[in-house]
Structure 1
Amino acid sequence: MSSTSDADRSPCPLLGPQGPEGEDTEPREEKVCAVCGDRATGYHFHVMTCEGCKGFFRRSINKGIRFTCPFTQSCPITKAKRRQCQACRLQKCLDVGMRKDTHQHTFDSSFSQFTHYWPAVRLYVPSPQPQSPPEPGGPAAWPPPLQPDCLDDEVLPDVFSMLPHFADLSTFMIQQVINFAKEIPAFRSLPIDDQISLLKGATLDICQIQFNTVFNAETNAWECGQHCYTIQDGALAGFQQIYLEPLLKFHISLKKLHLHEAEYVLLQAMLLFSPDHAGITQRDFIDQFQEKVALTLKSYIDHQHPMPEGRFLYAKLLLLLTELQTLKVENTRQILHIQDLSSMTPLLSEIIS
């Protein structure tokens, strides 16, 4: 994680064995458009393309146009001939991987890929005796009572700890955040050291935003595909009430705002592009990009959430992001004190180092 030259740097656990664009760290040649071969200006819709093909793809997708090839659907698409057949040009855009919804495969709200980590079995320690409701005005029970809706028939004995599974969940979600960041051209354009600083500064916060998408406010449980977790699982993994109680309140408050998926994604981008993270060199660029994302989020809220629902929604989000920073401090402190957790998940160790 130290600041060294690209030539001397060993593979970074956060960004993988290659550079942020999946390329070797050799001197880069001039980029060409993957669609027509013209000079490319950057990554557009997930693919290195020229301005012409970028605009053509955006117009075609936004308007839902259906083109028909007058020939054999195999027209050559070059800089000189790209305007001759729109149907084949659009098909070439799709064939090389251009897609409008570039965040979808890094925003796995169903946790469908998470099934590879362990068998779909409930890990829970049932209370040995039924808990009676607390007396009015008395202290609340901790951990909170079990949520019956989240219990499967198969329950493992209490000798099994939630810690290994929390480690797997953390690794999975951190990888999701890294994939999300690497899909953003502005992130890939930054020096690798800045990319690492942004990931180290924002990953834990972004994980909580993603986790809120699967939070069920009726059961106070996180429903991750075939797995279901309540706050007690955090206690079984070694986390303490001083962190778990405000964490649950944060997720309840955020879920009550009824955010759209696009708003969750924009929130993640806002958190990622924070110029306040340590070790940033391109501070002005990051600050300007974060401002653009924030304005986009504000505009989306204004247009998509009619009154009275949308009143003060953006302000409430900013307040919750402030709470999230406090949660991250306590979360990091407790992770460092949970025995064996850092050694079990190197990615988490890198993030909190």
Structure 2
Amino acid sequence: MAGLTRKCFSESDSCSDSPGSSSTALSHGDTDSNGEEKTCAVCGDRATGYHFHAMTCEGCKGFFRRSVIKRIEFTCPFTSSCTITKAKRRQCQACRYQKCLAVGMRKDMIMSDEALRLRRTLRHRKQKEEQSPRGEPDQGAGLTAEQEQLIEILSEAHQKNFDSSFSQFTHYQPPVRLDIHSVRPQNGACLLSPEDYLESYPEEVLPDVFSMVPILAEMSTFMIQQVIQFAKAIPAFRILPIEDQISLLKGTTLEICQIQFNTIFNEETKVWECGQHCYTIQDAALAGFRQIYLEPLLKFHVSLRKLKLHEAEYVLLQALVLFSPDQVDVVQREDIDQTQEKIALTLKSYIDQRHPLPEGRSLYAKLLLLLTELRTLKVENTRQILHIQDFRSMTPLLSEIIS
């Protein structure tokens, strides 16, 4: 387990059209307040409500969700102007998908299967709370002994294997002649394309600027190794078959790295403080990462940091991501699902106990939404790493993770 030795996919192809998947049903089924029947904005069939920000039928809702989750690229065999109706909607998927986007359906509102499952867990918990005499969480009850033990195990695994000071990150040192952070773009730009960003630097600085690729490559390897050691320190992970361990790590390591990175993110300066060295979103741009990934990445870190999570909540969040039963090749899916549910309930109980109302009531839901964003970021991160020249070859471990 020092490295990963078998290839598998990191994304699940599960695309169940859950009734609650980011949709809002009409108050009277498929009619409005005047009793008039609503029609799907995509194909004209009878609509069942607002799905992903547009009034659609169940068929178009499911089609859009599957297309986005599977990242399917459709091609129209005609002139990309096919008429989409209830009878013809299956004839051209490319034009149907474009029609979904044209009527306002939003890809960012689609929740992953993992997020949907966690939301159902939250709803189940809320139903129990509503059945209590006061109709609200009993914050005086505290955590169960099993939950306290789980937090202790995860916290110990995190503290032993996450070097927050980056004192052990000595494989690669930034150039001594010039610290690239001491020179910023002359035009005051904040987030440019890599080409524009390089042009904004003085000519004598450019040789050092290109050192960001090996720095980030070494940093990725360093972080991945820490995540692997964190997982191996968790008993529930160690007892899984080696095939399941590899599948879970391949599917979730990049997401866990981002959660760990958030613990050293300075919300005010927008800087990741890695011991003696600091890195910004512009450094990733210099390495070749594009705005389509960098802008949402920065937004994610700012949003997560604003929640002011405790260390226990960070480690529970990491474990919640790690035990993802929707990974393609896992064998003991039921055991992994049960472990994830225990972690989710522990996280919710901890939030209920440690965060006062009303802020605490919405904190768990906010975390679920951020997990959905994190999954999307992981997909785009992987895509860009595959296209950055020499990045994967510099770190074989990263190459195995995204294979």
Residue of structure 2 equivalent to 1:80: none
Residue of structure 1 equivalent to 2:219: 169
Q: Does 1:290 align with 2:340?
A: yes
Deviations, residues 186-205 of structure 1 (Å, cap 9, x unaligned): 11101101100000000000
- Alpha-carbon distance in structure 2 between the residues aligned to 1:238 and 1:124: 17
Residue of structure 2 equivalent to 1:299: 349
State the 1:104 CA deviation. 1.0
Shift in CA distance, 302/342, structure 1 to aligned 2, threshold 3 Å: same
Gaps of 5+ in 1: 1-10, 16-57, 63-97, 133-139, 147-155
Shift in CA distance, 222/350, structure 1 to aligned 2, threshold 3 Å: same
Residue of structure 2 equivalent to 1:105: 160
Deviations, residues 57-76 of structure 1 (Å, cap 9, x unaligned): x9xxx9xxxxxxxxxxxxxx
Amino acid at match of 2:180: L
Candidates 239, 254, 258, aligned match of 1:189: 239
Contact 2:191 2:282 in 1 (8 A): no
Candidates 315, 318, 322, aligned match of 2:365: 315
Contact 1:206 1:268 in 2 (8 A): yes
State the 1:111 CA deviation. 1.9
State the 1:166 CA deviation. 0.4
| Partner SS state of residue 156, structure 2 | coil
Contact 1:198 1:277 in 2 (8 A): yes
| Partner SS state of residue 110, structure 1 | coil
> Which has the larger share of helix?
2
Query: How many residues matched?
Result: 248
State the 1:99 CA deviation. 12
Deviations, residues 224-269 of structure 1 (Å, cap 9, x unaligned): 1111011000001110000000000000000000001111111110
| Partner SS state of residue 201, structure 1 | helix
Residue of structure 2 equivalent to 1:230: 280
Q: Does 1:13 align with 2:13?
A: no
Contact 2:316 2:343 in 1 (8 A): yes
Candidates 233, 236, 240, aligned match of 2:290: 240
Q: Does 1:261 align with 2:318?
A: no
Q: Does 1:129 align with 2:186?
A: yes
Contact 1:200 1:351 in 2 (8 A): yes
Q: Does 1:334 align with 2:384?
A: yes
Deviations, residues 142-187 of structure 1 (Å, cap 9, x unaligned): 369x9xxxxxxxxx92213100000000000000000000000111
Shift in CA distance, 120/287, structure 1 to aligned 2, threshold 3 Å: farther
Amino acid at match of 1:131: G
Contact 1:143 1:231 in 2 (8 A): no
Contact 1:246 1:327 in 2 (8 A): yes
- Alpha-carbon distance in structure 2 between the residues aligned to 1:141 and 1:165: 20
Residue of structure 2 equivalent to 1:213: 263
- Alpha-carbon distance in structure 1 between the residues aligned to 2:334 and 2:304: 30
- Alpha-carbon distance in structure 1 between the residues aligned to 2:160 and 2:222: 14
Shift in CA distance, 316/99, structure 1 to aligned 2, threshold 3 Å: closer
Deviations, residues 96-149 of structure 1 (Å, cap 9, x unaligned): xx99834311122222222443258633483452428xxxxxxx75369x9xxx
- Alpha-carbon distance in structure 2 between the residues aligned to 1:262 and 1:220: 23
- Alpha-carbon distance in structure 2 between the residues aligned to 1:237 and 1:246: 17
Residue of structure 1 equivalent to 2:173: 118
Q: TM-score normalized by structure 1?
A: 0.65
Shift in CA distance, 305/216, structure 1 to aligned 2, threshold 3 Å: same
Shift in CA distance, 128/119, structure 1 to aligned 2, threshold 3 Å: closer
State the 1:351 CA deviation. 0.4
Shift in CA distance, 178/295, structure 1 to aligned 2, threshold 3 Å: same
Q: TM-score normalized by structure 2?
A: 0.57
Residue of structure 2 equivalent to 1:204: 254
Amino acid at match of 2:276: Q
Q: Using CA pairs under 8 Å that are at least 6 residues apart, name the structure with larger relative contact order, 1 or 2.
A: 2
Residue of structure 1 equivalent to 2:101: none
- Alpha-carbon distance in structure 1 between the residues aligned to 2:283 and 2:327: 31
